Each structure stands twice: as C-alpha cells, then as structure tokens.
Amino acid sequence: MERFTVRILRTLLIILSLISCPPLLHASDDPMDAGRTATIDFLLEQAVSRGLIAGGVVVVGNHDGVLYRSARGGRFPTADSAPLTERTMFDIASLTKVFATTPAVMKLLETGAINLTDPLTRWFPEFEGSGREDITILNLLTHTSGLDDSAISGGAPLNEVIRMAASEKQWRLPGNRFRYADTNFILLGELVRRVTGASLDRYCHDNLYGPLAMTDTMFLPPAERIPSIAPTLGSAREYLTGIVQDEVARRLGGVAGHAGLFSSAQDLARFARMLLGGGQLDGKRIFSERVVRQMTAPYFYSNGAVVRGLGWDMDSPYSAPRGDFFSEMSFGHTGYSGSSVWIDPQRDLFVILLTNRLDYRDIRLFNQLRSDISTISVAVFSSHAKTVPPNRAKVIELLKP
C-alpha cells in the first residue's frame, strides 16, 4: 500500500509540473526544442552523477522515425571516457528474448513450421516420459511452463541443461502460473536451431537484422567492434567489453535464447518502428500484420495479475518501463545490464533506454529511472499530449530521495 501511494504521489507531481508550463502553440512545433526535452537529459545526467550508470542513451520515436535522441556519460565512468552515441553497442541482456528469440519463433509460426500448441516433446524428445508432455511453445513464450532456472545454475553444457530441465523436481503444472525463467528461452533458442538447422544468431541475421539493416545487432561481436561497445561489469566487477555479461550465456558459447545479443539504440529503434508499422519498415515486410498482433496480444495469467504477450511483457512485476502514461496495449521488456524498451501501438510511440549500469544493489532505483523516462517521454511526445516537460527545479524536487 505504501509503495502504491508513493507511486501515485510521484505521478501527480509529474502531472502538476507538466501542466504548470505553457501549452504547445501548435502541433508542428519542433519536438527537439531544448525546453521540452531537458528533463530527460537531466534524468540521465543525474543517474550518471549518482553512479547508477556510467552513461546512457535514450531514443524516442514513432513509426515514421526518431523524435528525440540523447546520450549522456561515457563508455567508462571516467572524465576522459569516450562519449556514448546512438550507434554505441550495448550488451542488451534479456532484450535478447524479444529482439532475437521471440521474433525468430514468430517467423517459424508464420511459415507454419511450428504451432503455438505444439507440445515441447515434438522437438525435444528429452522431455518424453518426464511428466512434462503438456508443456507447449506458448507456455515457453509466456513463462508459464512451470519450469524454473535450477537446470542452468551449475554451468552444464546445453544438452545437460535440457536433460536437467526435463527432470526438475520443483516443476509445476503449465498454463496458469507465471514464473519468469531464462530456461524457457534457452529452450526456444535451441528450438530455432532444431527446426531450421541454423544457429539462432545466423537465423536472426538472415531473417531479421539483415533485411532491417540493423548493422549494429549481433551475437559475438568481432574484435573490430570493441571500440564502439559500452562495457558491462562482470561478477568480479571487472569490465567486459564485447563479452556477454550473463554467465550462463557465456558458458553456452555466447549465443543463447535468453541473453547474448549486442545492439545499439539506433538499431532497436528500427525494430520498434517495424512493429509500429504493422510488420514492415522502409517498404520491406518482415512480419504480416496478423503475426504482429498475435505476438503483442494480451495473455492473462496468475488470476489476471500478470499480462504477457508472446515473449513481450505488458503488465507484471517487470513492467517499470511502462511508466504511468503508456496505454494498456503497450508492451516491452527489460535487460539486467541496464537496457529497456517500451512500445505503444495505441499512442504510436516507443522509448528505448540503453545504459552501462554500475550499481546493482537496488533495482528499485534503476526501475524508477526507467519509469520516469517513459512517463515524461509519453507526456512530451505522445500525439495526445498537449504539455511540455516540467522545469528543472521541479524535477530536482521530484527526484529527491
């Protein structure tokens, strides 16, 4: 109840500070006007100065293009560090699930190679006779398989991970209860390979990133890309540049269905624009409109308390980037390393936040950054908004602990 009250108060403060500013004169005002975007810049600057992130990039846009871009901080938390840009590549962690694995699976669904209701045993005979024959591809995509991550905790190779997942003792019946687990997407990444004969990285390059001209998006970036990659912190607080932060993905060779993808804000914006465009971008169709609607339709679990799309989050304990003003039809995802994206077809708007996170002690602080950036971005850039962002003094008050 206390957390809910604090959230309401923060939202009211944002609204009050927004409406205290003069309204837009007309709809054609330049959205890059500094007075309307300084608040988002300030949020990034505060996160850098407080040591929450070394740097961050925000891109806001719609199906037509980018409305706003900002980069603050650098690749490293030092004054002489190279600055971040829209083309800086980040380890996007669990965004791999929705920018690689989910769209790859949806391509297979679109071609009829698989069905959502296919039992897992059709492609994974390891699960036969395990009592888990009722798990479907839909269950994996919505984290309702009943599986947890005990199978990936010991550093086993992929074939052993699959065997252990098929014999989990803590398994629950599939279909109703949401339990977020990387194991679901490790299996889906392997599903792509078993169905197509191509590795997940090759399949995504040929069918997604190549056609979309996403030249900064890849697994296992080569050495010549290192200068353009923002490093992450390893478990010993060492810097990892071009090496996936997630230890399980690293043990699986750097290509996995749950983590391992590197990308830039510029590339992710192209993908978001494609989704808002009903599956096509720059005249090139990637998905049918029907498949995009199917991927982002709401599925209700845990007695309606959790709403998921296929792969995508809609309303759950992980939905901080939804902020306060995105619509109920919006969807997105987060990544542990400091990344998030939220997309709203109703408002025709997306917000991308990529950072090299430094402080992992309190996820609430970072989630508040995600939420505040989304809330203010929608207020400023939504076609339904008629206000400008709050002034700096009021934002300082808003962000005080």
Task: Please report, for the domain that includes residue 256, its CATH number.
Answer: 3.40.710.10
Same domain flag for 323 and 231: yes
- Residues 348 and 377 placed together within one structural domain of the fold: yes
Q: Is the pLDDT of residue 274 over 80?
A: yes
Domain assignment of residue 397, yes or no: no
Asked whether residue 20 is domain-assigned, the answer is no
399 found inside a domain? no
Phi-psi region of 317 (alpha: psi -120 to 50; beta: other; left: phi over 0): alpha
Express each pLDDT in 24-35 by its tens digit: 322 334 544 556
Same domain, 361 and 382: yes
The alpha carbon torsion through 31, 270, 218, 314 (nearest 10 deg) reads 90
Same domain, 131 and 228: no
Number of domains in the chain: 2
pLDDT in tens, 133-172: 899 999 999 999 999 999 898 778 999 999 999 987 656 7
- DSSP for 233-250 reads E-TTS-EESSS-S-HHHH
Q: What is the DSSP string of 18-68?
A: HHTSPPPS-TTS-TT-HHHHHHHHHHHHHHHHTTSEEEEEEEEEETTEEEE
Residue that wins the pLDDT comparison between 259 and 3: 259
pLDDT range class, residue 130, cuts 50, 70, 90: confident
- Per-residue pLDDT band for 7 (boundaries 50, 70, 90) equals low
Residue 229 lies in a domain: yes
Nearest of 241, 239, 246 to residue 229 by alpha carbon: 241
Residue 21 within a domain: no
Residue at which a domain ends, from 154, 180, 202? 202
From residue 37, give the alpha-carbon distance in Å to each of 101, 193, 337. 34, 44, 25
Q: 303 φ, ψ to 5°?
A: 60, 35
Tell me, what's the pLDDT at 5? Answer: 44
The predicted model gives 363-378 an average pLDDT of 96
Q: Given 176, 202, 228, which residue is the final one in a domain?
A: 202
Average pLDDT score, the chain: 89
107 in the same domain as 88:
no
Structure tokens at 229: 């990659």
What confidence tier does 388 reach under pLDDT thresholds 50, 70, 90? Answer: very low
Residues 290 and 162 in one domain: no
Do 110 and 151 sit in the same domain of this protein?
Answer: yes
| 80 inside domain | yes
Distance, CA of 300 to CA of 292 (rounded, Å): 18
pLDDT of residue 120 exceeding 70, the answer is yes
Residue 4: pLDDT band (50, 70, 90) is very low
pLDDT value for 112: 98
Do 109 and 81 share a structural domain?
A: no
Tell me: do 87 and 151 sit in the same domain.
no
Is 349's pLDDT higher than 60?
A: yes
Q: Does the pLDDT of residue 69 top 50, yes or no?
A: yes
Classified as helix, coil or strand, 357 is strand
CATH number at residue 121: 1.20.58
Does the residue 3 lie in any domain?
A: no
Given this model, what pLDDT does residue 1 score? 46
pLDDT of 81-113, one tens digit each? 999 999 999 999 999 999 999 999 999 999 999
Boundary-marking domain end, from 202, 224, 246 = 202
Residues 94, 97, 103: CA angle, nearest 5 degrees: 155
Is the model's pLDDT at 395 over the cut of 80?
Answer: no
Q: What is the pLDDT of residues 187-234, one digit of tens each?
A: 999 999 999 999 999 999 999 999 999 999 999 999 999 999 999 999
CB 309 within 8 A of CB 333: no
263 and 377 share a domain? yes
Out of 38-52, 124-138, 236-250, which region has the weakest mean confidence (pLDDT)?
Answer: 124-138
Say if residue 126 is in the same domain as residue 237. Answer: no
Could you list the residue range(s) of the whole structural domain that residue 221 is in? 26-92+216-388
**Residues 148 and 249 reside in one and the same domain:** no
Any domain includes 4:
no
